[in-house]
Amino acid sequence: YSSSAVSARQDAAYQLVRLVHALARVHAAVLAPEHAPLFLSAYRCSLHPFDRLLLSLLLRFEHAGTALCSPSLAWGAHVARSLAHGHPSAASSASSSASSSASSSASS
């Protein structure tokens, strides 16, 4: 892909997330729990405006009652290896440890 094609895709993704975010502010019912993994997979934990908007949207999912720390939403190399070797319990423990560390860092 050319850099202009990548840039156009990124801009389209940003505009889509802006739209969903705006709709969610008006009516939280647009935040379908099955859409959370898509937004979570796009989140890169940076200070880029796109990530900041995604974080705000993910927080809206949590406020609407969608649990973002379930094993089905775990990510990372450890989880990928565990799932590849057929050990879903490792994915669950990775998710709970990530949730624990996020909780402890949020309370600091």
Confidence category of residue 4, pLDDT binned at 50, 70, 90: confident
What is the amino acid identity at position 57? Answer: L
Q: What is the pLDDT of residues 50-89, one digit of tens each?
A: 999 999 999 999 999 998 886 666 666 666 677 677 655 5
Neighbouring C-beta atoms of residue 81, cutoff 10 Å: 13
Nearest to 36 by CA among 13, 53, 59: 59
CA atoms within 13 A on the CB side of 20: 22
pLDDT for residue 46:
94
pLDDT for residue 26:
95
- Identify the residue whose tokens are 């969608």: 66
Share of the chain above pLDDT 90, in %: 43
